[in-house]
Structure 1
Amino acid sequence: MRQAAKDTYEFYFVNPFTLQEEGKVDVDASQSSLTWGYYTDNKLTGSFKALNSIGRNKLIRVKQTIEIPNQPIYSRALGTLFVENSGESAKYKLTQTSLSCYSTLWRFTQDILSQDFYRPAGYNVVQEMRELVEADGGKFQVMPSVDTSVKHTRDILFEMGTNRATVLNTIAGWIGCQIYPDEDGYITLDRYVAPQDRQVSYTFESGENCIYLSGADIEENSSAINRVICFYQAQGTENGQSVVHSDVVTLDLDAGNPFSYQNIGRRVSYKLQYPDVRYNENEPSRQQLADYGNAYLRNNSSVGTRYLEIEAANVPTLKAGDVVRYMNDIDFETPINVKAEVTEMDMKLNLGGMTKYRLKVIG
């Protein structure tokens, strides 16, 4: 825990269409928490204890200020969330309201297309995502890592009734991106980087800056693979004739891998198509096919996933999805030093913002 630190939490009503703050909300921070889940639909949920009735369908922003002697004051927004429901309790003429809240992605995970969504070949992909978000009053932003010039190589159609978040996530995946809500409520498009390729953002060392909470939790993976067949196809026209360009590479796990063909005696193959290839424009080389296929193979070849849980004062720069190093020579028979992805963060809004981190071991 940060020594001699003072943590202050403030809550504000937010206009859902402008994301501008519109006044404070009286909330008991000591009975409130935030939970980030990298692999969850809404990415962020909150449980707040308001000191008066505020009703449903509000948008609330949580801010934290950290004051440490002889250091600059640090302030940040933690998240901006819709109130799903509220339940009131009263005693001795004091009313408290329990609030269940969800990030601004909730606007899309809880809604469907009211009509078919069609865009022709040649339409800008980022532009259509902006239209999807802003048509419902949301705010959209694009990170510098994203290529904003990418266009569709063929017509696309999502039928009426399709979940709006499914549409956004699908389109983002086509161009190697992901979406998430930022702290101020903007739906953000960012380049996706596989966990194994992300840089280590922070190091946790048990007994120094964190506490180890539980034994190793192993989750079996029934869909593990040991071979990827990666290919592309691009159709065009030459001299009035239809022509197809294509190539394929086959990739296997190294013999030393526990799930390799040499160790289990059978192939478990997956057919993987290289995405969004345009004829005579961006056709991948064999090396690009191999790199893409190997990345998929690395992410889907583990027969079991190991999870660890630790508790520490909240690290302001750390987000769900970041990769950390975890070292522990105290609790295990053999000391461990692993690279892990932060899949969940459960933060109590108290001194130090004590947070439980769920770590997925990736190396």
Structure 2
Amino acid sequence: MSDWSKPFKVAYRVMRVNRNTGLETGRLDWVISGGSIERNQDTNICESGSLTVEGATDLGTDRLRIWADCTWHDGSTASVPLGTFLPNIPKRSVNGKESSSQLDLYGLLQEVDDDMFESPITIGKGKKAVTAAADILKGCGLQVAAYNPGNYTLKDNWTFGLRSDKDKDKGSTKLDAVNDLLDLAGYSSARTDEYGRVILEKYVEPGKRQPKWTFQEGANATFLTTMTDERDLREVANVVKVTYYNTDKEYVSTAIDDDPASEFSTVSRGRRVAHAYEYSSIPDEVTTDEQGRKLASDKALELLRTEQSVIHRVTFTHVYAPLNLTDVVDLEYPTGSVSGRFAIRAQNITLEAGIPIECEARTFQRPSEPTTVKA
């Protein structure tokens, strides 16, 4: 196993990949040094990047895969893939007979996001939603990594490719349809691994997963000590008021966090931070005042917990580690008073010595139960 805590040399290699077979067919030799790869969980396709190449380049229908070939002082070696992409050349810079081209790179999910259903398609009741999502991806020419389809089956027929006045974006692309189906089954949105295979996996809260990597302060630390630690508490509520009403009835409840042990409470902060929510309809199943009061109080408690789910975000730079989006890491940096278990949201990989990666990772800190509810 490679020891990424020790110094290593790296050379980058860009390979052409046949879209039909998935096999590498040759090396792109005229790549100019430098480039970058960005991964972002909050974008549809999750991956992008850029390279510069000498001269004019015709890649036909090929995809590209970027490798890092690493060598340690003891002679050991390792080659790691950094991503597989759909290339695009938007412009070329020319100076006499010399020229260079900008190569924009897009994650392979771009091909699914660019496609749509020419006519409505119906996925029948009883089919597993994850299997249906995988079928759409395979129909777009993508490989799907081995996955567990889970037990969720569609309760009704689902039709994609229809215009909807209520939600005009729903299912408007094939990637929208894939992610809609995955969401139904409680799965994370589709993303690709370094080989361009689509990952389909059930969502599990970061706090319930084991860390894949530990960044530990010390002599063998692999991260820079300069980092950003974000945790904005200014608008975190400690009072939430909920009102349900119609023309005949009104039910009001207020949840208050007044627990001295709570970081966000009225006691700890010395002030109230109040948010109010109103709902202009009462569910038909609420037929008594007792049920109405319980409806409002339960909702107030729910919303207060949501309001107090604070995002703790750290942004730091580390040398290469075999990590990708959604992976869970432990960060232990006692000198900077930064520690915790985080899930990776974004990575910016610079193609230079050490394979430096700027990593943004975050966790949601959940509150304890409020201590007072007034109905």
TM-score by length of 1: 0.73
Partner residue, 1:184: 195
Alignment partners' CA distance in 1, 2:318 and 2:361? 13
1:353 is paired with a residue whose SS is coil
For the Cα contact (< 8 Å) 2:35–2:51, is it kept in 1?
yes
Which amino acid counterpart does residue 5 of structure 1 have in structure 2? F
Matched, 1:322 2:333: no
For the Cα contact (< 8 Å) 1:224–1:300, is it kept in 2?
no
Partner residue, 1:233: none
Alignment partners' CA distance in 1, 2:41 and 2:355? 19
2:130 is paired with a residue whose SS is helix
Matched, 1:172 2:185: no
The more displaced of 343-352 and 216-225 is 216-225
- TM-superposed CA distance for 1:223, in Å, is 9.9
Alignment partners' CA distance in 2, 1:151 and 1:224? 38
User: Which of these two proteins has the greater Rg computed from alpha carbons?
Assistant: 2
Partner residue, 1:97: 101
Deviations 1:176-213 (A, max 9, x none): 21221122212221122122222222222456321134
Say which of 339, 342, 363 aligns to 2:341. 339
Deviations 1:147-190 (A, max 9, x none): 45542222112234612211111111111212211222122211
Matched, 1:22 2:25: yes
Matched, 1:305 2:311: yes
Which amino acid counterpart does residue 196 of structure 2 have in structure 1? G
For the Cα contact (< 8 Å) 2:329–2:341, is it kept in 1?
yes
Partner residue, 2:212: 201
- TM-superposed CA distance for 1:216, in Å, is 3.2
- Between the two proteins, what is the percent identity of the paired residues? 17
Cα distance change on mapping 1:209 and 1:124 into 2, 3 Å: closer
Matched, 1:51 2:54: yes
Partner residue, 1:124: 128
Alignment partners' CA distance in 2, 1:196 and 1:93? 57
- TM-superposed CA distance for 1:353, in Å, is 0.5
2:325 is paired with a residue whose SS is coil
Alignment partners' CA distance in 2, 1:260 and 1:109? 44
For the Cα contact (< 8 Å) 1:5–1:68, is it kept in 2?
yes
Q: Which runs of no fewer than 5 residues in structure 2 stay unpaired?
A: 164-171, 241-254, 280-298, 366-375
How many residues were matched structurally?
A: 312
Cα distance change on mapping 1:139 and 1:202 into 2, 3 Å: closer
For the Cα contact (< 8 Å) 2:211–2:327, is it kept in 1?
yes
The more displaced of 49-58 and 9-18 is 49-58
Alignment partners' CA distance in 1, 2:145 and 2:256? 39
For the Cα contact (< 8 Å) 2:116–2:161, is it kept in 1?
no
Matched, 1:82 2:86: yes
For the Cα contact (< 8 Å) 2:15–2:65, is it kept in 1?
yes
Which amino acid counterpart does residue 21 of structure 1 have in structure 2? E
TM-score by length of 2: 0.70
2:361 is paired with a residue whose SS is strand
Report which of the two has the higher share of strand.
1
Which amino acid counterpart does residue 28 of structure 2 have in structure 1? V
Cα distance change on mapping 1:182 and 1:299 into 2, 3 Å: farther
For the Cα contact (< 8 Å) 1:308–1:360, is it kept in 2?
yes
Alignment partners' CA distance in 1, 2:32 and 2:78? 18
Say which of 60, 67, 79 aligns to 2:71. 67
Alignment partners' CA distance in 1, 2:266 and 2:7? 56
For the Cα contact (< 8 Å) 1:203–1:325, is it kept in 2?
yes
Q: Which runs of no fewer than 5 residues in structure 1 stay unpaired?
A: 228-250, 272-292
Alignment partners' CA distance in 2, 1:308 and 1:354? 16
Which amino acid counterpart does residue 40 of structure 2 have in structure 1? G
- TM-superposed CA distance for 1:71, in Å, is 6.1
Alignment partners' CA distance in 1, 2:19 and 2:305? 37
What is the CA RMSD across the aligned residues, in angstroms? 3.7
Say which of 220, 225, 231 aligns to 1:212. 225
Say which of 3, 9, 14 aligns to 2:12. 9
1:216 is paired with a residue whose SS is strand
Deviations 1:199-247 (A, max 9, x none): 22222245632113444345679898999xxxxxxxxxxxxxxxxxxxx
Which amino acid counterpart does residue 229 of structure 2 have in structure 1? A
